[in-house]
Amino acid sequence: AQSVTQLDSHVSVSEGTPVLLRCNYSSSYSPSLFWYVQHPNKGLQLLLKYTSAATLVKGINGFEAEFKKSETSFHLTKPSAHMSDAAEYFCVVSEAYNFNKFYFGSGTKLNVKP
Amino acid sequence: DAEITQSPRHKITETGRQVTLACHQTWNHNNMFWYRQDLGHGLRLIHYSYGVQDTNKGEVSDGYSVSRSNTEDLPLTLESAASSQTSVYFCASSTSTENTGELFFGEGSRLTVL
C-alpha cells in the first residue's frame, strides 16, 4: 500500500534563506510524485512532478525536488525563500500501475519571516 | 484555457437540509474526485469517478453521494447535512490517458452546517 509522510507539520524560515520541506513515501511500485502548494483560501496548485525521468525535478517559482529511491524520499527545496512562498505544501504520490489513485501527505505549513 | 470550477464558493445551511455542490471541468478529463479538507486531517477522498456513469466511494463517503451523467460534471450531494460535514470541499480532475497525469483542483467550496 502507498503512504506519504511529511516529516514537519510547520517550517519557519527567514526571507532569503533556504527552504527544505521533507517527504518520505512508501510504494510497492515505481511511483509518480508531486508537490502541490496551497495559498490561503485557494485550491491546490502543482509545483512540480516526478515521473521516472530525471531524478532532480525543477518546478515553478524556483522550487526543486530530488527523487531518491534508496531513501524513498522526495524533499522539496528552494535556495532562497520569498515572502510569497508562505503557504501550505502537500506531497502526493500516485501508483505507477494505477495512476488514478492519489495519496496525500498531511501537509507542511511554511512560514517566511521578514 | 481549460479550468475546473466549483459553486457555490461559500454556503451556509442548516442541519438536515440537502445540499449540492457543483463541479464543472473543461479539461475533458475522465477522472474526477471530491475531497474534504479539515484541520488535522489533510485532504480526504469522499467519492471519485473514472468516467460517465461510474462512481466509487472514497474513505469518508458516508452521508455523501455523487452522480456522473456527463464528462464535465460531478455534483456532490449531502443528503441530510450534519455539523460534522462543515468543511472545505475540493473538486479535482485528472487524465487517465497517461501515467504522469496530475490532479487539477478547483478553488474550493466552504460549507458551514449550523
Residue B11 burial (CB < 10 Å; 0-12/13-18/19+)? middle
- Integer angstrom CA distances of residue A42 from A23, A62, A88, B35: 22, 20, 10, 14
B64 compared with A70, residue with greater pLDDT: B64
A22: contact with B, CB 8 A cutoff: no
d(CA A9, CA A107): 6
Q: Is the pLDDT of residue A94 over 90?
A: no
Tens digit of each residue's pLDDT (9 = 90 or more) over B25-72: 999 999 999 999 998 778 999 999 999 999 999 999 999 999 999 999
**What pLDDT score does A56 carry?**
93
pLDDT band at A96 (very low <50, low <70, confident <90, very high): low
Helix (H), strand (E), coil (C) string for A48-87 = EEECCCCCEEECHHHCEEEEECCCCEEEEEECCCCHHHCE
Of A62-71, B21-30, B73-82, B90-99, the one with minimum mean pLDDT is B90-99
Chains A, B: CB pairs < 8 Å: 51
Q: Is the pLDDT of residue A46 over 60?
A: yes
The alpha-carbon gap from B20 to the nearest alpha carbon of chain A, in Å, equals 19
**Cβ–Cβ of B31/A100 closer than 8 Å?**
yes
**Cβ–Cβ of B90/A43 closer than 8 Å?**
yes
Set of chain A residues whose Cβ sits within 8 Å of the Cβ of B98? 99
A106: contact with B, CB 8 A cutoff: yes
Cell reading at A75: 524533499
**Cβ–Cβ of A99/B99 closer than 8 Å?**
yes
A104: contact with B, CB 8 A cutoff: yes
**Cβ–Cβ of B90/A44 closer than 8 Å?**
yes
- Judge contact between A99 and A87, C-beta under 8 A: no
- Is the peptide bond between B8 and the residue preceding it cis, with omega within 30 degrees of 0? yes
Q: Is the pLDDT of residue A99 over 60?
A: no
Exposure string over B62-95, b if 16+ CB within 10 A, otherwise e: eebebebeebbbbbbebeebeeebbbbbbbbbbb
- B4, B31, B43, best to mutate vs chain A, most A CBs in 10 Å: B43
Q: Is the pLDDT of residue B108 over 60?
A: yes
Element (H, E) at A28: none
- Judge contact between B41 and B91, C-beta under 8 A: no
Question: Which residue among B42, B107, B108 sits closest to A107, beta carbon to beta carbon?
Answer: B42
**What pLDDT score does A53 carry?**
73
Q: Which residue of B has its CA nearest to A40?
A: B107
- Judge contact between B104 and B6, C-beta under 8 A: no
pLDDT band at B97 (very low <50, low <70, confident <90, very high): low
**What pLDDT score does A54 carry?**
82
Averaged pLDDT of chain B: 93
